[in-house]
Amino acid sequence: MTKLAANLTMLFNEQPFMDRFEAAARAGFRGVEFLFPYAFHADQIADKLNAFQLDLVLHNLPAGNWEAGERGIACHPDRVNEFREGIDEAIRYAKVLGTKQLNCLVGKVPQGVSAEQARETLVENLRYAADMLKEHKLRLLIEPINHFDIPGFFLTRTQQAVDLIRDTGSSNIYVQYDIYHMQRMEGEIANTIKANRDIIRHIQLADNPGRFEPGTGEINYRYLFKMLDEIGYDGWIGCEYKPRAGTVEGLGWRAAHGV
């Protein structure tokens, strides 16, 4: 059965962040996700989750200076200590908010750093993060992202994520599979999900082109939802898209796609 989570970073942003929890619940969502909780006290968010009976299914590790264009620091050799401090902070929030899995945005390769240096740093950081999270019964996820939207991002393909997980030697790293990003990078969405079913523990969606809601572009979401049910995927699917004409106005796609 399809379980949809509202991404509160991109949905319901017609209103302040702390009001989006109620809006999501009123729209019928039982789960939510967002990029980062760190601008708010954990108890403030927990109160909203409890008040509206919502599960927080995912948020990211701290990812550097987002406003300045950073998209993660896990592949930055000179910021290992900062990355590790961020893991501690993320765990503290996850324990209060009931989050079971945390996503690591690996970042763009810094100027002057070779791909080999970046990868070596990333493997060590992922291994460390996975071990730390495992102590608290939390999963670590990594997410391939298309290089059109984020030029220079280190992790851009599914097989690259599989290879990174293998090289860490960790049993506590999984893939967050974003359908929109991978449609842009490699296509073959259904076959790729089937082939990597065991390591995909979270899925996100948006249509392409435009990153709008399902039904506005080229991706056959009715087929994909049916396929996910058939292969027994029982995780959450995060709705991480840009509403084309307002969040509530655009939610009709759920009924149109049988979810």
Catalytic residues: 143, 240
CA distance 2 to 92: 29
What distance lies between CA 39 and its chain's CA centroid? 18
Assigned token pair, 153: 């991002």
100: amino acid identity, one letter: K
Which residues lie closer than 8 Å to 118 by C-beta, 6 or more apart? Answer: 75, 76, 77, 109, 110, 154
**DSSP letter assigned to residue 29:** -
Assigned token pair, 226: 């049916």
User: Which is nearest to 99 in space by CA: 139, 127, 63?
Assistant: 139
CA distance 53 to 76: 38
CA distance 194 to 191: 5
Kindly report the backbone phi and psi dihedral angles of residue 73, in degrees, each rounded to the nearest multiple of 5, phi listed first. -130, 15
**DSSP letter assigned to residue 61:** P
Kindly report the backbone phi and psi dihedral angles of residue 220, in degrees, each rounded to the nearest multiple of 5, phi listed first. -85, 85
Residues constituting the chain: 259
**DSSP letter assigned to residue 251:** T
CA distance 215 to 226: 15
Tokens 């994520």 belong to residue: 161
